[in-house]
Structure 1
């Protein structure tokens, strides 16, 4: 069995910028296509508005995730010969693809998760969209699908949000969840790089992740099932990473746990929790406080929230911030010795999800949290700090992108 110690030799491969070549554009059918060497061109964007608008749900705590979609969607077709089509904003509709499409048979598809917010002045904002575009490009590259100009995609996305801006809640804690997706749509069976692909974006209004307050959860450390492995797609946001986690998640829920804490290797190295990155705030054996999370070794998803937490806490300079491997044995020893301060997951949906208990090998370990069983001090601080930046209440670098 491959030891996790070998993971240290794996390095996360950064995206190499795609060159945008400007050339005359032939046409294919009713759509305009660029040449195969070009990328998305936002100046060609066409808008077809829906003639009948859908009723909007009530923006309160009963709002379900992923059920009510906006009136429109963004679509961009790609063909290996002719390149990208002119981007289109069209009424939200079911997709029509061939039954042989590789996205259905071989998982040739990837996606992103991001949000749009309205600040107190009604200005629509995106949070670090460049990071999502980079990660989507990395996923496309890993699956041999077309890469694209992230800035041009963002410009198309901005126009999409302008068209459907009334779907963006203007209440604190609410946002518009955005799902950019890329699927291979070739009309033939066979495991090979995509000949045709569809880029599309759908969106839905969402409420607070924590409906009843910022409450910690318990998780089950999983040794049998694995989320990712060296050389695989753990660092990419592809559908194949998620479906295999459904059974372990169901088994954990049957035992009363909210998420699975994913482990790897004979040493049970700690990796991620559910579909979130995992953070431990503890005192090391030398007494120094440290915030630690698994490194981007190719098995860990480079979360936008993860990166934001690392940058913020390093800016504070109040404790050490580390990206390095650690095992369940390390975590249990720290818990038994009273050195764990708090633990939390981090991701787009929850931002920060505090954890107050971990079950491992049939034994449950209590994790400290804040007063009255609520989130700890660091979890709470990070949650509010990130929310303030996302909603434009606080400026930090260029993370909050206003759409005018």
Structure 2
């Protein structure tokens, strides 16, 4: 997808259909300077208890500063550590901040792989535009990500760590020293890599608490389709409430009719039978721009259409073909399908957890229990995604990171 494909029409109008203006100096990964750490950190073993805090980071990070007058400065790879920004930085006051979430995987063959990284880079540029942050070439962002992975992954994700991954967080924040409510005149791009616990921790499936009518994550004309910081802070309160209810995430509803949007920060899928008997996999559409266009979401849609629709003749033997749809549906549709025994399965998808089943929804005073044993589709999708990211299945969706030459200056 192109970066502009992620932007709502109203955003394009506000930018006069020129959302990505040229910079005085372009972001150029080939000019990256490298300063190696003199104190490498100890690498925790896979699934160590401390990984659950999501605060174990690799040795290095990428930083690149931008100013409106000069454009992008040369990027730097330096030891991971605190950032220096002014207390008046617009990211701290006006949420001029966006980020991405992606992983680098250690394959069964010992190779290092990224999964559809062009999608993440294009989406980050669109998110930056949504909060008036500077433009950049997504290809240059990917070069920086690859270089950081090539430097840190050999020690933090060794060849023996087959099936493991590290989480990559590119971030762009407004940093100008001014309280003025205006487009930032300075910004900082940085990339950090975190150790991540195994998604196997999801166990039997997620329990979701359906948000009530006065709690909204995103709305038409807002920023729900962008990965910007302002979308996440306000949702933590509802997430904490869901945890107190014994649930894992919030099932975000919107509008008086209870339209289903997302599960926490993940995209949601429902498998059900229509009253006419047709089997469908349904996920909320993107037309209202209230939902993030997830990389895993698109990948699941592609897999269902290519392998499970039956149209291409490649439907798994003994597996009933299913139709994939992107459309609006409500919590009441899910309740009705459950009561009428038409609800076959429910699952959430995202970079962190890949594909994870949902076993229960708490909606007002009602408990909707989903029997995962009724559906083979979730386990099929989990297996396919794992095979692709690990390299067991050759796919155009992955690219191998060259570790032979991390290009250390």
1:111–1:238 contact (8 Å) kept in structure 2: yes
What does 1:315-330 align with in structure 2 at a 5 Å threshold?
A: 315-316=306-307, 317=309, 318-330=321-333
Deviations 1:354-386 (A, max 9, x none): 111111121111112128xxxx42111111111
**SS of 1:105 mapped into structure 2:** helix
2:133–2:184 contact (8 Å) kept in structure 1: yes
**C-alpha separation in 2, matches of 1:217 and 1:103:** 33
Instruction: Say yes or no: does 1:206 pair with 2:206.
Output: no
Q: Name the TM-score, length of structure 2 as normaliser.
A: 0.87
| Alignment CA distance shift 1:202-1:128 (3 Å) | same
Runs of at least 5 residues in structure 1 that lack an aligned partner in the other structure: 1-9, 21-35
The match for 2:385 is: 386
Deviations 1:63-99 (A, max 9, x none): 3252111110011111111111111111111001100
**SS of 1:332 mapped into structure 2:** helix
**SS of 1:164 mapped into structure 2:** helix
Runs of at least 5 residues in structure 2 that lack an aligned partner in the other structure: 1-7, 310-320, 403-409
2:21–2:135 contact (8 Å) kept in structure 1: no
Counterpart selection for 1:174 from 130, 148, 164:
164
The match for 1:338 is: 341
Instruction: Say yes or no: does 1:359 pair with 2:362.
Output: yes
- Once the two structures are TM-superposed, the CA of residue 16 in structure 1 deviates from its matched residue by 7.6
What does 1:113-192 align with in structure 2 at a 5 Å threshold?
A: 113-165=101-153, 166-169=155-158, 170-192=160-182
- Once the two structures are TM-superposed, the CA of residue 247 in structure 1 deviates from its matched residue by 1.2
**C-alpha separation in 2, matches of 1:184 and 1:217:** 36
Aligned residues: 374
1:19–1:38 contact (8 Å) kept in structure 2: no
**C-alpha separation in 2, matches of 1:179 and 1:309:** 22
The match for 1:369 is: 372
Compute the RMSD of aligned alpha carbons: 1.9
The match for 1:399 is: 397
Instruction: Say yes or no: does 1:225 pair with 2:215.
Output: yes
| Alignment CA distance shift 1:16-1:352 (3 Å) | farther
| Alignment CA distance shift 1:221-1:243 (3 Å) | same
**C-alpha separation in 2, matches of 1:86 and 1:291:** 46
The match for 1:54 is: 41
1:140–1:147 contact (8 Å) kept in structure 2: yes
- Once the two structures are TM-superposed, the CA of residue 217 in structure 1 deviates from its matched residue by 2.1
Q: Give the ranges of 4+ consecutive aligned residues of structure 1 lying more than 4 Å apart after TM superposition.
A: 10-20
Instruction: Say yes or no: does 1:194 pair with 2:184.
Output: yes
- Once the two structures are TM-superposed, the CA of residue 234 in structure 1 deviates from its matched residue by 0.4
- Once the two structures are TM-superposed, the CA of residue 102 in structure 1 deviates from its matched residue by 0.5
2:11–2:130 contact (8 Å) kept in structure 1: no
Counterpart selection for 2:58 from 59, 63, 70:
70
2:204–2:359 contact (8 Å) kept in structure 1: no
**C-alpha separation in 2, matches of 1:18 and 1:228:** 24
| Alignment CA distance shift 1:61-1:312 (3 Å) | farther
Instruction: Say yes or no: does 1:305 pair with 2:319.
Output: no
1:113–1:348 contact (8 Å) kept in structure 2: yes
**C-alpha separation in 2, matches of 1:284 and 1:11:** 33
**C-alpha separation in 2, matches of 1:19 and 1:99:** 28
**C-alpha separation in 2, matches of 1:289 and 1:13:** 37
**C-alpha separation in 2, matches of 1:326 and 1:61:** 40
- Once the two structures are TM-superposed, the CA of residue 269 in structure 1 deviates from its matched residue by 0.6
